[in-house]
A = this chain, B = another copy of it.
C-alpha cells in the first residue's frame, strides 16, 4: 500500500512534466507574429536571459561557499551528512523551476499577442498554456526531487529498523528545504528589485515627465520593464512556489514520523500531491471562453479549472486517508479539507480587497479626490484592515486541523494535521500557478501589441487578458501567503522535532513568557520589517539610477521623441541587472545569518520564539503590503477607466503616486516575506545541531 503511494511520487512527476511539455509544444506551435513583434520579443528574451545568467552565476558562488561550509560542518558532525548535497539539489531544482517558467513566458508573450489578433479565446489559450507549463514544471520538479531523495535514502538506510529508518529519511530530506528557500529568496528579491526598478524608472520619467504612454517604444526603460515582468513575476514566483511546495511536503513527512505514523504517514503528502497533479491536469481542460467574453466570464473560465481541481482532490483525499489510516484517523481528512478551503477563502478575500469590482478599492479610488497623501493613507489603511480576515481564516484552519486530527490526545498528530492542511492547500498548485503565471505573459503580450503598433482591437483584447491577470495575481498572492504561513508553522514544529531527535533529553521551555522565547519573538517580529525596509530601499536606489539613465538618454540621444533616434534599451536592462544582483545580497544574508546568530545566543527556545514571531508578523505584513499594492494598482486602473475624472486628471495623478508606492509593496517586499519566513525555519533546521550544542542560553 505505502509502496504504491510512494510510487505515485515519480508517476505524478512524470505526468506533470509530460503535460508541461505538451503545453510548451502547443505554445511554440503558434506563430510569433510579424517581424517587429519578433524583434521586440527577442529583445525581451535576450534581456531576461542575460539577467538569469548573471543571477545564476552570482548565486552559484554563494552556493559553493555554503556547500563548503556545510561540508566542513557535516564532517565535524554538526549538520546532517546529506546537508551539502541536499542543499544543492534544493537550490538547483528551485532555480530550474524559475528557469523553465521564464523560458516559456518569454516565448509565449509575442505568440499571445499574435493569437489575440485572431480572437480573445485564442489569446487566453496561449497565455494560459504558457502559465500551465510553469505551474506543472514546478510541481513536477517538486515531486521528482523528493522522490529521488526518498528512494535514495530508503536504499542508503536499508539496514535500519523501520521506525529509525523513517526518522532518518525525514530528517535528511528536511535539509533540502534550505537550498530551495535560499534560491527562492534570491530569485524573488533579485527579480522583485529588477522589475520594480525598471517599472518605477520607466513610469516616473516616461509617463510622468515626458508624458508618453506606458509601453511606448520611445521609452528607453520599456524593454527593461517587460523583462522585469518575466524575471520578477515569473522566474521569482516559480522559485518561490517551488520552495513552498517542497517545504510543506518535507515538514509534513517529518511530522508524520514524530506523530508515530511512520512510512504510511510520510506517503500521504506525496500521494496527495500526485492526486493534486492529476486533478490539476483535468481542471486545466476546463479553461476556455467564448469570444467577446466579459471580464467576469474570463475570470470564471479560469476559476472553473481551479475549483474543479480542488473538488477532485477533496473527493480523492477521503479515500486516501481511509486507505492509509482507516476510519479511526479520518479526522486527518478534515485537516486536508480545511487547508483546501482556507486557500480558496484567503484567495477570495484578497480579491475582495484588491479588485475594483468591490467597495474597498472603489472607496480607495475616491480618496484620490483630495490628493496623493489621502490615497496613500487610504491604501495603507486598506492593507492593514485586510489582514484581519485572512488571520481569522488561517486561525480557524489551524484549530480545526489540529483538533480534528486528534491533537488533543496526540499532540504530534495535531501538528501533522496542520502539515497536511498546508500540503492540501498547495496540492492544486499546478493549476493555481498556471492562472497566476498567465498574468505576466498577458501583460507582456499587451506591451508587445503596443510597441508593435497592433490594432486597437488587439490591444483591447490583451488589456482584458492583462486586467484579469491582475486579479488572478492577487488571488495567487493571497494563496502563496496563506500556504507560506501554514508551511512555516509546520516547519517550526519539524524544527522542534529535530531537536528532540538529536537531543532526546533537551529541556524545552517554549512558554511565551520565558525570556529567551520572548526575545526570540521580538527579534522575529522585527525581521520582516527590517527585511521589507531593505528591499524597499533597494528598489528605491535601483529605480533612482534608472531615472537618471532614462533622463540622460532623452537628453543625449537625439530624435528619440520623433522616432528617428533609437533608445539604448540594453543599457537599462544591464543597469537593472547589476542593481538587482548587488542589492539582493544584504537582505538574503540577513535571513541566513540571523537564525544562526540568534540560535547561538538564545538557544533552541529562542529560535522557536524567533520563528513564531517572524511567521506571525511576516504573515500579517506580507498581506498588508500585497493587498495595499494591489488595491492602489486597481484604483488607478479604475480611474483610468473613466471614474473621478479619468486619465490625466488630478485624481489620476494622485492614483499614480499610490500605485508607485504600491509597486515595491506588492512585487518586491510583500511576496519576498513569504520566503523569508520559511528560509528562517529551514536555516534553523539545518543548523540545529550546532545551535543545540553551542548556544549561550
Contact = CB atoms under 8 A, between A and B. Distances in A.
A382 B523 contact: no
A627 to B, nearest CB: 11
Interface string A400-438: 001100010000001100100000000000000000000
A370 B204 contact: yes
Interface in A484-528: 489, 492-493, 496, 508, 510-513, 515-519, 521-523, 525-526
Contact of A612 (B414, B521, B530): B521
A372 interface: yes
Contacts of A512: 510-512, 517, 521, 608-609, 612
A544 B402 contact: no
Given A377-B661, A381-B533, A398 B204 contact: no
Contact of A540 (B377, B388, B532, B536): B377
B617 A513 contact: no
Interface string A590-626: 0000000000000000001100110011011000100
B515 A398 contact: yes
Contact of A380 (B381, B402, B536, B657): B536
B385 A534 contact: yes
A510 B514 CA distance: 9
Given A377-B540, A513-B510, A540-B367, A525 B657 contact: no
Given A382-B533, A530-B384, A525 B616 contact: yes
A376 B663 CA distance: 12
B661 A398 contact: no
B518 A398 contact: yes
A231 interface: no
A208 B371 contact: yes
B612 A539 contact: no
Contact of A513 (B394, B492, B616): B492
A540 B660 contact: no
A508 B511 CA distance: 9
Overall SS of chain A's interface? helix
Contacts of A380: 533, 536, 661
B537 A381 contact: yes
A370 B522 CA distance: 35
A contact residues, range: 35 or more
A46 interface: no
B398 A526 contact: no
Given A376-B661, A540-B374, A511 B513 contact: no
B371 A204 contact: yes
Contacts of A60: none
Contact of A620 (B381, B525, B608): B525
Contact of A515 (B402, B532, B612, B617): B402
A399 interface: yes
Interface string A296-314: 0000000000000000000
A297 B407 CA distance: 64
Given A381-B537, A395-B519, A387 B529 contact: yes
Contact of A385 (B367, B374, B530, B624): B530
Q: Which 8 A-B pairs have the closest CB atoms?
A: A373-B660, A384-B533, A385-B533, A510-B511, A381-B536, A384-B529, A381-B533, A395-B519
Given A208-B371, A370-B544, A380-B536, 9 more contacts: A381-B533, A381-B540, A382-B533, A391-B522, A391-B526, A407-B515, A414-B515, A418-B515, A522-B616
Interface of A: 200, 204, 208, 367, 370-374, 376-378, 380-385, 387-388, 391-392, 394-395, 398-399, 402-403, 407, 414-415, 418, 489, 492-493, 496, 508, 510-513, 515-519, 521-523, 525-526, 529-530, 532-534, 536-537, 539-540, 543-544, 547, 608-609, 612-613, 616-617, 619-620, 624, 656-657, 660-661, 664
